[in-house]
Structure 1
Amino acid sequence: MKDVTVASHGLTAAADATGKPGAAMRPIIQVVAGNALEIYDFMIYGYYARYIAQTYFPSDSEYVSLMMSLMTFAFGFLARPIGAIVLGAYTDRHGRRNGLILALSLMSLGIISVACTPSYRSIGLAAPVIVLLGRLLQGFSAGAELGGVVVYLAEIAPPKRRAFFTCWQAGSQQLSVMAASLVGLVLLYLLAPHELHAWGWRIPLLLGCAVIPVMFWLRSSLAETSVFAAKKKTPTVGDICTSLVSGWRTIALCMGMVALATVTSQTITTYAPTFIKSLNLGESAGFIILFFGGLSVLICLPIMAVVADRFNRRTVLIVVTLLAGLSAYPMMSWLAAQPTVFKFAVVELWFSFIYAAYSSVQVAAMVELVPPSARTSGYAFAQAVAAAVLGGFTPAILTWLTHTFHSNAMVGVWLAVNAAISLIAALALGQKETATRQSAQLQ
């Protein structure tokens, strides 16, 4: 992954993305469906972290129990970099389609293990161990799943619509947020608190298990990208690892670009139910706000992606990171001073917009930095490391910050820190270089 030249980093558009809306949307739906299931499960785990904590990590202290549950969630993210290298290398050698199917298979095992494991009271220490292994397996698969989806979408996209195509990876996540919120709201009204605590939280996970066959059916007919099919030589695992090491500057730059997206996403989705509880605003209001937050991101993403395809990536990234960094602490302080449902909705919708505006540009800019020989492993590794170090630990970090400093406004400090990291990465991008790559073909 040597310093990039346009010739070595161009992406050719696939034959199946010639501009016909129907032809373009079919592979997009096929490839993002599995990603939606992956994120749905992560959302459910975050939404019901308090119930999962008492089921698998019982303790006299609710705070300790919750932290153990959230740390288990975070450990799943630690497996992502390993999955990015192992499964990413498999995808770069054996094809985008084969890699996506393998990732879906491992992800399915992870979801089933968490949904069906008996409680600590039933099987003792084996329960948290199985849950931890399930999260690690799912994190391992997610390490390549997210990168594989983005790379596939980028390689079937026409050069001047790359941000629009790749934005649907994040768009599928919002469908997951909305689905998880609706299921949570329905269960809140149908089940008594003790029923939800005892077994009701498993229902959303079991619903996710039920649609796994549909996901396999969708991906089984997925066509290979023309970019991979045109390769005359596939790299060895050694070649890919060498490329990752030699391209450490590109990897570091991509990791910095991921910071704001992954932390903002985890804050407004996974951590939100815990945040709502600490603000004493009520679970039902939280699920409703989360649904509309996901809907607002789903609407904003394609709009901002069109903007990203018309303007220089670097400029948009700088503007959005500045907005995020300057607004994070003041808005969280405003919310924490006198929490209301209205204030929470304003904050949630604002950072939903920040996430949509940023990720629609960031994803396309990242994939344009990585050369085709190690595109899946390179993109996935940068994404996975940043998600593991920053995003995965965000719910635990925010819980610790608010508990230690006795202030919910500390959520804004963590957001501002990561906005600063992404701002530095955006400033490090060469303006002329990003403009040239934006219109180049990926080959």
Structure 2
Amino acid sequence: MSIPSTQPSSARRRQTIVATTIGNGLEFFDFTVYGFLALVIGKLFFPTFNSYGQLLLTVASFGVGFVMRPLGGIVIGAYADRAGRKKAMTLTIFLMALGCALIAFTPTYAAIGVAAPIVIVLARLIQGFSAGGEVGASTTLLVEHATPANRGYMASWQFASQGLGVMLGAIVVGALTFSLTPEAMQSWGWRVPFIIGMLIAPVGMYIRRHLEESLHISPEQAAAPRESSLKIVCTQHGKTVLAAILAIVGGTTAAYVVTFYMPTYAVRELGLTPSVALFGAALTGLLSFALAPFVGKLSDIVGRKTLIFWSRIVMAILIYPGFLWLNASPTPLVLFVVLGVFSVGLVVQTVPGITMLPEMFPKRVRASGMSLVYSVGVALFGGFAPFISTWLVNATGSKLAPAWYLVAMTVISLFGLIWLRDHTGRDIDAADAHAPA
């Protein structure tokens, strides 16, 4: 059921924010709890390896989900540009729930042997395909319900909803870890978050029935043959795509190191308890959820590129001292302070970054362009960031190696930012909005 068009635009925007935030938050809950359960899943599905091998294979299977993101972004992004944002977002919810169900009910390696990790990898591929289309469709919908003066605020709810999903995932896994014995957690407790995640299908689909479509296609337009949206994006906006992928390297690497690798790092390298590590992850989710709308409003005032540039400079300066302090004094308080500072820097650079992506493309290919850039950037640099960080610690013998990796990616991303046009305050649907700079 769509919202009546006679309602005030502000009311429609509020309902769009609520529906998108809840639905997207549920999606990210499903996708991210796997990362919080890396140590448990490693023991159950990769038992023939030593503890390092188990962890490496588990974070690799976490990263495998990102391999399918570009394909999901291309396919679902094109579907969103052809059939509408709303239908694409409903499809992603169903696929994410399917992946959760596979993980929740797959027997362990002890029961079915090598088939167990194969099914887990298949489930992660399905979830990655879903996530690749979800971000593009939902962010595009938010941006298209905004005015030129509040697009940053509207798009900020995409990142806020990611923080909500991460926070809920960390709380659920943390509560189970704290209340269950290690034996119970390995026996059945680890399955509970994925069973909860299956609720995304009925809840998310119900919520999204009330969204108003932002792409209006006439019957004549729907029946007419049209050129591939992927072809249009790559041939007419190829330079923008390449620059944008490079520009999001810093934000996506920081997101997956800070949010998903740090809890494992805190337990394995610093000797902190899983409950403390998961509380730290919940803190990052809370800060993302709470601060994102304010940063979005700020980006509408000062501009996207200004916020991204200076936040990354500050982040690059603080990363190494933060890791150094954490290793010198591995206490819960220090962990929370370091994660808190990193999380603020992450929000300030990511919110304007995720707003810029759909602003770069014309409406007819906006979801496709946004999905392609985001999913490729996250697949190449974000999803495997925990894997690379784990490998670097083992290969170099230095617990500070992830800091240097994160600094390098943050600095490199600044070069892509230089080539992007800032559309803050402009009408992105104007005829000349996306002409070559």
TM over 0.5: yes
- For the 8 Å contact 1:15–1:156, the answer to whether it is kept is no
Task: Count how many residue pairs are aligned between Structure 1 and Structure 2.
Answer: 424
1:253-402 alignment to 2 at 5 Å?
253-277=243-267, 278-402=269-393
State yes or no: 1:428 paired with 2:419. Answer: yes
> Separation in 2 of the partners of 1:104 and 1:314?
32
The two structures, once aligned, show a CA RMSD in angstroms of 2.0
Pairwise CA distance, 1:236: 5.9
State yes or no: 1:89 paired with 2:78. Answer: yes
> Separation in 2 of the partners of 1:322 and 1:166?
23
| Paired letter, 2:322 | M
Query: Residue 231 and residue 410 in structure 1: after superposition, are their counterparts in 2 closer, same or farther (change >3 A)?
Result: farther
Unaligned ranges ≥5, structure 1 = 1-13
Pairwise CA distance, 1:411: 1.7
- For the 8 Å contact 1:89–1:237, the answer to whether it is kept is no
Pairwise CA distance, 1:292: 2.2
Query: Residue 349 and residue 15 in structure 1: after superposition, are their counterparts in 2 closer, same or farther (change >3 A)?
Result: farther
After superposition, give the CA deviation of every residue in 1:183-233 in whole Å (9 maximum; x if it has no partner).
1222123210111122211111111113431111111232211x4447974
Structure 1 residue matching 2:370: 3-state secondary structure: helix
> Separation in 1 of the partners of 2:221 and 2:300?
31
1:194 corresponds to: 183
After superposition, give the CA deviation of every residue in 1:302-344 in whole Å (9 maximum; x if it has no partner).
1111110011222221111111122212221222233222221
Pairwise CA distance, 1:441: 4.3
> Separation in 1 of the partners of 2:6 and 2:21?
16
Pairwise CA distance, 1:237: 7.0
- For the 8 Å contact 2:263–2:280, the answer to whether it is kept is no
State yes or no: 1:438 paired with 2:425. Answer: yes
1:82-161 alignment to 2 at 5 Å?
82-161=71-150
Pairwise CA distance, 1:59: 2.1
Deviates more, 1:170-179 or 1:227-236: 227-236
Query: Residue 237 and residue 147 in structure 1: after superposition, are their counterparts in 2 closer, same or farther (change >3 A)?
Result: farther
| Paired letter, 1:438 | G
Pairwise CA distance, 1:106: 1.4
Structure 1 residue matching 2:248: 3-state secondary structure: helix
Pairwise CA distance, 1:98: 1.0
> Separation in 1 of the partners of 2:67 and 2:189?
28
> Separation in 1 of the partners of 2:323 and 2:136?
32
- For the 8 Å contact 2:244–2:420, the answer to whether it is kept is no
> Separation in 1 of the partners of 2:425 and 2:384?
32
After superposition, give the CA deviation of every residue in 1:269-312 in whole Å (9 maximum; x if it has no partner).
21122111121121222222222222222221111111100112
2:433 corresponds to: none
Query: Residue 104 and residue 90 in structure 1: after superposition, are their counterparts in 2 closer, same or farther (change >3 A)?
Result: same
Q: Tell me the TM-score normalized by structure 2.
A: 0.92
Structure 2 residue matching 1:274: 3-state secondary structure: helix
> Separation in 2 of the partners of 1:47 and 1:55?
14
> Separation in 2 of the partners of 1:86 and 1:368?
20
Structure 1 residue matching 2:366: 3-state secondary structure: helix
1:165-180 alignment to 2 at 5 Å?
165-180=154-169
Deviates more, 1:330-339 or 1:154-163: 330-339
Pairwise CA distance, 1:256: 1.8
Pairwise CA distance, 1:420: 1.2
Deviates more, 1:214-223 or 1:44-53: 214-223
Pairwise CA distance, 1:238: 4.2
State yes or no: 1:47 paired with 2:36. Answer: yes
Query: Residue 88 and residue 61 in structure 1: after superposition, are their counterparts in 2 closer, same or farther (change >3 A)?
Result: same
After superposition, give the CA deviation of every residue in 1:370-415 in whole Å (9 maximum; x if it has no partner).
1212111111011001111110101111111111122221121121
> Separation in 2 of the partners of 1:311 and 1:229?
34
Pairwise CA distance, 1:120: 1.1
- For the 8 Å contact 2:31–2:127, the answer to whether it is kept is no
Give identity over the alignment, percent: 30
> Separation in 1 of the partners of 2:175 and 2:24?
24
> Separation in 2 of the partners of 1:396 and 1:231?
48
> Separation in 1 of the partners of 2:94 and 2:302?
38
Unaligned ranges ≥5, structure 2 = 431-437
- For the 8 Å contact 1:39–1:176, the answer to whether it is kept is yes
1:7 corresponds to: none
1:398-413 alignment to 2 at 5 Å?
398-413=389-404
Structure 2 residue matching 1:74: 3-state secondary structure: helix
| Paired letter, 1:58 | P
1:72 corresponds to: 61
Pairwise CA distance, 1:127: 1.1
> Separation in 1 of the partners of 2:145 and 2:6?
7
- For the 8 Å contact 1:261–1:358, the answer to whether it is kept is yes
> Separation in 1 of the partners of 2:177 and 2:7?
43
> Separation in 1 of the partners of 2:248 and 2:397?
29
- For the 8 Å contact 2:31–2:96, the answer to whether it is kept is no
Pairwise CA distance, 1:173: 1.2
- For the 8 Å contact 2:264–2:277, the answer to whether it is kept is no
